[in-house]
Each structure stands twice: as structure tokens, then as C-alpha cells.
Amino acid sequence: MDRLKIEILADGTIKSTSDEVSPENHQAAEAFMRMLAGLTGGSSTRRARGDAPARTTHSHGSTTHTH
């Protein structure tokens, strides 16, 4: 099952964590995260999880990342 864990930290930072997201839901998850970043303003960063193996690198517009 595809899951995104969303946390609001004490300093107001929004943190999201996910396990593997299916190809069917990947684009929707990416769009949701872009919308969230746009609505909240400020900077947005992406960090790979150290406990999850990276498998593929791909791009969405100007964003390139590895899963």
C-alpha cells in the first residue's frame, strides 16, 4: 500500500516520508508534494532515506531524483 507520512515539526517545518510508491500513484504523490510546497512557501529540499535502497533516477520537469 502506498503511504506518505506527513509531520509538522515544532519549528513549523513540514516533513514527509514515504516507502516505495507504486508507478500508478507516483505522479499524484509528486503533484501533491509540489502543491504543498507551493501553498506553504519557503524552501523545499529532498533527501534520500538512508535505510531505503535507491533503484532508479528520473526527472519530473526540472526535478531529478532517485528512488
Residue 5, C-alpha cell as written in the block: 507520512
Task: Place 67 in a pLDDT band, splitting at 50, 70 and 90.
Answer: low
Q: Say if 56 falls within a structural domain.
A: no
Q: Say if 17 falls within a structural domain.
A: yes
| Residue in 37, 42, 67, 47 with CA at minimum distance from that of residue 55 | 67
Q: What pLDDT does 21 receive? A: 85
Domain boundaries, position 27: 1-40
Q: Does the global pTM surpass 0.75?
A: no
Q: What pLDDT does 39 receive? A: 92
Q: Say if 19 falls within a structural domain.
A: yes
Domain count, the chain: 1
Q: Say if 61 falls within a structural domain.
A: no
Task: Measure the CA–CA gap between 60 and 5, rounded to whole angstroms.
Answer: 21
Map grid coordinates 510508491 to a residue: 21
